Amino acid sequence: MHIDWAALGQVFGVSLVVTVGLVGIFTLGIMGTSPRTGGSADSGAGTGAGALARSGAYACFALCAAAVGYGIYLIVA
């Protein structure tokens, strides 16, 4: 039995980078949807910055869902 160590190393490296990237993007999504603390009672609620953060968070979640869907597509196909 012959193991192609170079290919195994490439798969490991790409898997590690993609996993860390997806966790980071998902974390940004969680941070974007979390309530703001500190400051005045109405800071961030309904303002442009709060809406922008929430939109960015939804974009992060959509990117994560697209990556998972692409992974499932690669496995099934």
What are the tens digits of pLDDT across the range 8-65?
Answer: 999 999 999 999 999 999 999 999 998 877 655 555 555 677 888 899 999 999 999 9
**Cα–Cα distance, 21 to 73 (Å, whole number):** 19
State the pLDDT at residue 14: 95
Give the three-class secondary structure for 52.
Answer: helix
Give the predicted TM-score (pTM) of the model. Answer: 0.76
d(CA 50, CA 37): 12
pLDDT at 74: 93
**pLDDT of res. 77:** 84
Q: Which pLDDT score, from 0 to 100, does residue 6 have? A: 96
